[in-house]
Amino acid sequence: MPLCLGVFHCQGAERKFNWLLVRHVPGARRCVVFFPGDISDFASGHGPYSYSLEGLMWVLCCKFPEDTVVLVKSRMMVDHCAIYVNFMLVDGVGNPRPLTERRGVEDSAEVELEHPKAVEHLKLLLQSLAGDLGQDLPQSLVLVGFSKGASVLNALLRESSEAEFWGRVESVHFVDAGLLVPGVFPVQDKELWGLYEVVAAHFVIWLHATPRQMKDESRPFIVEEHEAFAQRCQVAGLSLERRMYAEGEEPGLDMHFDALRCFLTSPSDRDGGDQHCGFFHRWKTEAEESER
């Protein structure tokens, strides 16, 4: 499927900028906003095209063929690590920092850190994009976060008091969410209760996963965080859908990326599911063979 994409350098909150990769569909009903994870950058020829931002954009557009799709590139990449510093406080490799920290060695009192205003930043990025396009974007939003990109979703969820924004969001998709350290799901109960008060009746949170994350013995905290977050969502009364893909298969990086091709966009989605397991491996293999 050929795509016509645009690349825009858009201004968000506090004069902070992000590059946006955009497939604009005039008259679309929804705007899908996608936050990718580590490894993926603009295609350069030094890595598999399938893992590039352009490659992932092609996959997302296949899944949302009638919607405007906006890929938000992280502010910077450090050794292949995505650094979403415009949306949240992070450490040197892009992992979100705790919401509080101690003052010092001798002072054990914890202080709440001042985090970037994630919702305001995203709203202004989309407003800036609309200005560049010369036409308004759809009001209805779908948010998708893949791997580390899911931590941006949580930065947005922490601001559940942004009622106007959350009233426009139809669904939030966590796609194989996980970090090398704990902290991909830091949202607290009070914020989820607040979210329940402002979202539309059809709003749904989706948790999509593969064994690559959920059965990683070196990171047992991932499945623990998934379970705890799911329970908090249900207690708050939020609609929750969970799906597992590629069960029984050998975990690997391609399986991780396969989650983007497999994840269901709705309960009635017939294009998703395990039928696409092995998609990224085949893509990479075919590309290598074509270059010989």
240 touches 230 (CB < 8 A): yes
Mean pLDDT score, 111-121: 85
pLDDT at residue 107 greater than cutoff 70: no
For residue 1, the model assigns a pLDDT of 65
Distance CA 62, CA 292 (A): 28
Name the average pLDDT for the chain: 92
For residue 78, the model assigns a pLDDT of 87
96 Cβ contact partners less than 8 Å away, ≥ 6 residues apart: 88, 89, 90, 151, 154, 155, 179, 183, 184, 186
For residue 98, the model assigns a pLDDT of 74
What's the pTM value of the predicted model, to 2 decimals?
A: 0.94
User: For 124-155, how does the pLDDT look when each residue is reduced to its tens digit (9 = 90+)?
Assistant: 999 999 999 999 999 999 999 999 999 999 99
pLDDT at residue 5 greater than cutoff 60: yes
pLDDT at residue 102 greater than cutoff 90: no
Distance CA 174, CA 153 (A): 8
Burial of 13 (0-12, 13-18, 19+ CB in 10 A): middle
For residue 110, the model assigns a pLDDT of 64
Mean pLDDT score, 271-290: 92
pLDDT at residue 45 greater than cutoff 70: no
pLDDT at residue 4 greater than cutoff 90: no
User: For 49-90, how does the pLDDT look when each residue is reduced to its tens digit (9 = 90+)?
Assistant: 889 999 999 999 999 999 999 999 999 988 889 999 999 999
For residue 289, the model assigns a pLDDT of 80
> Quick one: pLDDT band at residue 99, thresholds 50, 70, 90?
low
First to last CA, the chain: 24
User: For 237-248, how does the pLDDT look when each residue is reduced to its tens digit (9 = 90+)?
Assistant: 999 999 999 999
Report domain extents, the chain.
6-290
* Residue at token pair 């009746």: 201
User: For 197-221, how does the pLDDT look when each residue is reduced to its tens digit (9 = 90+)?
Assistant: 999 999 999 999 999 999 999 999 9
Please give the share of the chain, as a percent, with pLDDT higher than 90: 77
- How would you classify residue 85: left for phi > 0, otherwise alpha for psi between -120 and 50, otherwise beta? alpha
> Quick one: pLDDT band at residue 159, thresholds 50, 70, 90?
very high
> How far are the Cα atoms of 34, 47, 208, 273 from residue 192, in angstroms, in the given order?
21, 39, 19, 28
Q: What is the CATH number of domain 6-290?
A: 3.40.50.1820
pLDDT at residue 160 greater than cutoff 90: yes
* Residue at token pair 């415009």: 86
For residue 100, the model assigns a pLDDT of 63
For residue 33, the model assigns a pLDDT of 99
Please compute, for residue 151, the number of CA atoms within 13 A of its CA located in the half-sphere on the CB side: 29
> Quick one: pLDDT band at residue 101, thresholds 50, 70, 90?
low
